[in-house]
Structure 1
Amino acid sequence: MITLSKIAKVFNTKDGEVKAVDNIDLTIDKGEIFGVIGYSGAGKSTLIRLLNMLEAPTSGTVEVAGKSMHTLSRQKLRAARQEIGMIFQHFNLLWSRTVAENIAFPLEIKGVSKTEQKERVNELIKLVGLEGRGGSYPSQLSGGQKQRVGIARALANNPQVLLCDEATSALDPKTTDSILDLLVDINKKLGLTIVLITHEMHVIRKICHRVAVMESGKIVEQGDVLDIFRRPKQEMTKEFVKQVTEPEETEEALKHLLDKEGIGHVLQLTFVGGDTQRPLITDIVRKFDVNISILQGKISQTQHGSYGSLFISLSGEEKLITDVVDYIKSQQVEVEVIHSA
């Protein structure tokens, strides 16, 4: 569906050249939700704008839905962009237009008849859960409702691709989750390919099938979300994964526990998929003469299954501790000793 080959974007500034996107190769499959994550300045916003040619590449090629975007004339590019919807962090709505009029705007530009416009707008208002708000103005809507208008407008021309530029960054956590649920629903109902950029791993974890991690204009790591959670390789990726698996409150709680005397050996167990349902702790208690305490634990859902992280304390004979660690590994559960007694 989307293929980037040796794509680069260089900006000329007073301070010299800035390479925002640096020689990236990337393929995104039809119908998948693909995430691009990175901190500010990583180049992710520039990358997503290259997909619909809001930014022209300095070098390399961009193909979307079988079209070589970088070679199209202005007229053909305008037509190609109708197959690529985009939603933004700050909604970009027309404040003097109602919800229905905002959604209809792309259809007006395309020259669709008033009757067809009304029919399509009603379909989209229902799809995004805004029944009864078609006559409202953006100033009368909550942040989540504004973003739903933005999504409906982006879908007006039946695009094949939806680009999301930090689409939930301005929203509170509960509203963010509702918008992410809507995007998953749209992806399943319409078979739409969704590309989103974010700096929040929670967003990636919740809805993406695959993810690319960007740093200094380059993709430093990419893969299936569950694999990235299970075995992050780069330090940048590990930082993002910790946002979900070891949030700040977990880290503080563990530091407090590790300062206590008699805490024993502290192990971090990582469960993936069906492993999260297994009675591993019960099995250890039955098989080994050790004392075991659960310190902290969390299970998160991804599009490909569950991911769990559990911190336990073990005390007992040194040989038995080693045997327990070996047993955990034999059960295909990853384990790391993060503190020794």
Structure 2
Amino acid sequence: MIELTNITKTFQTDKGTLTAVDSVNLSVRQGEIFGVIGYSGAGKSTLIRLLNGLEKPTAGTVTVNGQEISSISGQKLRNARQKVSMIFQHFNLLWSRTVAENIEFPLEIAGVAKEQRKKRVLELIELVGLTGRENAFPSQLSGGQKQRVGIARALANEPEVLLCDEATSALDPETTDSILELLVDINERLGLTIVLITHEMHVIRKICHRVAVMEAGKVVELGNVLEVFQSPKQQITKRFVAQITESGDSIETVSKLLSQFNTGKLIKLIFVGDRTEQPILSRLIRNFDVEVNIAHGNVSHTKGGAYGTLILHIDGKPELINQAIQFLHDEGVKTEVLTHA
């Protein structure tokens, strides 16, 4: 669906040449929700602007659904942009227009007949859950409602790709979750390909199928979200994953737990996918004459399945402790001995 081949984008500044995107290769599949995560200055916003032709690459090609966006201009580019819509962090609504008029605006520009426009607007208002608010002005809406208007407007011309540039960063956590659920519903109902730019791992975890991690203009890590959660390779990726799992893995937490136990072993377990739902601990306690205490744990859910971490204190005879740890390993649970108490 989307192919970025050796994409580089540079800008000339007072301090010289700035490389915002550096030799990036990416492929986004039809119908998936693809996340791009990075801190400020990583190049992710420039990357998303390359996808709809708002920026031209200095080198490389951008292809969307078979059309090379990076090499067209004028009317061809304007036509292509109708199939690649975008929603923004700060909504970008027309404040003098009602909800319905905001959604209708791109249809007016496209020359769609008035009767068709009205019908399409009503469909979109229902789709995004704003029935009854069609005559309200943006100043009368909550942040979440404003973003729903932005989403409906972006869908007006039936795009093939929806780009989301920090679309939930201005929202509170509860509203963020409702918008993410709406994006998932749209993705599943319409088969729409979504590319989502964010600096929040919670957003990636909740709705994305795959993720690219950007740093200094480069994609430093790429993979299925569950795999990235399970085994982050780059230091920056580990920092993002820690946004979700930090409470059980931080040095402070582990140090505190170590100070509580004078014997036995402290074991960190990582469960992935179906393993989070298996009664492995009950079998461990039943089969081995050891004392097992759950010291800390949490479970995160991704589109690809669940990912859980659990810290256990296992006490008893050394040989039985080792057998119990081997049992966990044999059951497919990744284990790490944090210390010998």
Q: TM-score, normalised by structure 1?
A: 0.97
Equivalence for 1:311: 311
Matched, 1:46 2:46: yes
* CA-to-aligned-CA distance 1:153-181 (integer Å, 9 cap, x gap): 00000000000001011111111100000
Q: Which moves more between the two structures, 301-310 or 202-211?
A: 301-310
Aligned residue number for residue 159 of structure 1: 159
Deviations 1:161-215 (A, max 9, x none): 0000010111111111000000000000100000001111111111001111111
| TM-superposed deviation, 1:248 | 7.8
Q: Name structure 2 gaps, 5 residues minimum.
A: none
Aligned residue number for residue 238 of structure 1: 238
Q: Is the 8 A contact 1:4 1:24 kept in 2?
A: yes
Q: Are the counterparts in 1 of residues 99 and 137 from structure 2 also a CA contact under 8 Å? A: yes
8 Å contact kept, 2:248–2:254: no
The equivalent residue for 1:57 is: 57
Q: Deviations over 1:114-169 (max 9, x none)?
A: 11111110000000000000000111101100000000000000000000001011
Q: CA separation in 1, counterparts of 2:36 and 2:110?
A: 30
In the TM superposition, residue 264 of structure 1 has moved relative to its aligned partner by 4.1
Distance 1:248 1:297, change over 3 A: closer
Find the residue that maps to 1:102 and give its secondary structure: helix
The 1:250–1:177 alpha-carbon spacing in structure 2 relative to 1, beyond 3 Å, is farther
Q: Contact 1:5–1:25 (CA<8 Å) still a contact in 2? A: yes
Q: Deviations over 1:196-235 (max 9, x none)?
A: 0111111111100111111111111111111111111111
Shift of 1:253: 4.4
Partner AA of 2:202 in structure 1: H
The residue aligned with 1:36 is 36
Give the direction of change, closer, same or farther, for the CA distance of 1:284–1:106 in structure 2 (3 Å limit).
same
Distance 1:269 1:45 in 2: 37
Which secondary structure does the structure 2 equivalent of 1:27 belong to?
A: strand
Equivalent position of 1:149 in the other structure: 149
| Distance of 2:209 and 2:47 partners within structure 1 | 19
1:168–1:263 CA distance, 2 compared to 1 (3 A): farther
1:196 aligns with 2:212: no
Matching of residue 178 in structure 1 with residue 178 in structure 2: yes
- Worse-matched range after superposition: 307-316 or 60-69: 307-316
Give the TM-score of the pair, scaled to structure 2: 0.97
Q: Which residue of 1 aligns with 2:218?
A: 218
In the TM superposition, what is the alpha-carbon distance from 1:322 to its structure 2 partner?
Answer: 2.1
Question: How many angstroms does 1:339 deviate by?
Answer: 2.7
Alpha carbons of structure 1 residues 11 and 247: separation in structure 2 relative to 1, 3 Å: farther
2: CA distance between counterparts of 1:319 and 1:15?
64
Distance 2:158 2:322 in 1: 59
- Segment drifting more, 171-180 vs 240-249: 240-249
Give the aligned partner of residue 132 of structure 2: 132
**Amino acid of the residue matched to residue 7 of structure 2?**
I
- Identity, % of aligned positions: 61
Residue aligning to 2:287? 287
Q: Which amino acid aligns with 1:315?
A: D
Distance 1:328 1:238 in 2: 24
Query: Which digits, 9 at most, give the CA deviation of each residue in 1:83-141, with x for residues without a partner?
Result: 01100011111111111111011001111111111111000000000000000011110
How far off is 1:256 after superposition? 2.8
1:17 — aligned with what? 17
State the distance in 1 between where 2:176 and 2:73 align: 38
Divergent runs of 4+, >6 A: 248-251
| Matched position secondary structure for 2:39 | coil
Secondary structure of residue in 2 paired with 1:246: helix
How has the CA–CA distance of structure 1 residues 142 and 269 changed in structure 2, closer, same or farther, with 3 Å as cutoff? same
Bigger mean CA deviation after superposition, 284-293 or 182-191: 284-293
Gaps of 5+ in 1: none
Cα RMSD for the two superposed structures: 1.5
Letter in 2 for 1:54: L
- SS, match of residue 40 in structure 2: coil
Work out the CA distance in 1 between the residues paired with 2:253 and 2:3: 44
What residue number does 2:299 align with? 299
Alpha-carbon distance change, 103 to 263 in structure 1, aligned in 2, over 3 angstroms = farther
Question: For structure 1, which segment, 252-261 or 76-85, has the greater mean C-alpha deviation from structure 2 after superposition?
Answer: 252-261
Measure how far apart 1:268 and its partner are: 1.3
Distance (whole Å) between structure 2 residues aligned to residue 81 and residue 258 of structure 1: 57
The count of residues paired between Structure 1 and Structure 2 equals 341
Amino acid at match of 2:172: D
Counterpart in the other structure of 1:331: 331
